[in-house]
Amino acid sequence: MNYIKLVAILAFGTAVAVVSPQGARANQLAGPVVTGTVTAIQGTDSITIGGQTYTVAPGSPAAQELGSLSPGEQVDAVLNGPASSSGSQVVSVAVHNGA
């Protein structure tokens, strides 16, 4: 009888974990996203998107990606803080492929 209760509890726990909204958050971006056209790139220090310049976090995936970006490309830039804060930095950049 204890074995059946244990299986039932484990099944219930698994079901709750699967339908929990916490599971859906695992694939969401970590911070605010700025979307726009790259208008300038200054080495690995900063990127200008839609006329607004953002500092790039040193050693971040964004710093590594800047070398492969070009002005005119459409991108999503993930920030580590609010877009309105001058202390926020770009931590990731993704290029829009296609249209």
Q: What is the pLDDT of residue 83?
A: 83
Span 19-40, mean pLDDT? Answer: 70
Q: What is the pLDDT of residue 14?
A: 66
Span 56-81, mean pLDDT? Answer: 92
DSSP label at 39? E
Give the pLDDT band (50/70/90) at residue 91.
very high
Give the pLDDT band (50/70/90) at residue 17.
low
Contact residues for 64 (Cβ-Cβ < 8 A; gap 6+): none
With beta carbons less than 8 A apart as the criterion, state whether 71 and 38 touch. yes
Which residue ranges make up each domain of the chain?
A: 33-95
Span 44-62, mean pLDDT? Answer: 92
* pLDDT beyond 70 at 19: no
Fold classification of 33-95 is OB fold (Dihydrolipoamide Acetyltransferase, E2P) (2.40.50)
pTM: 0.67
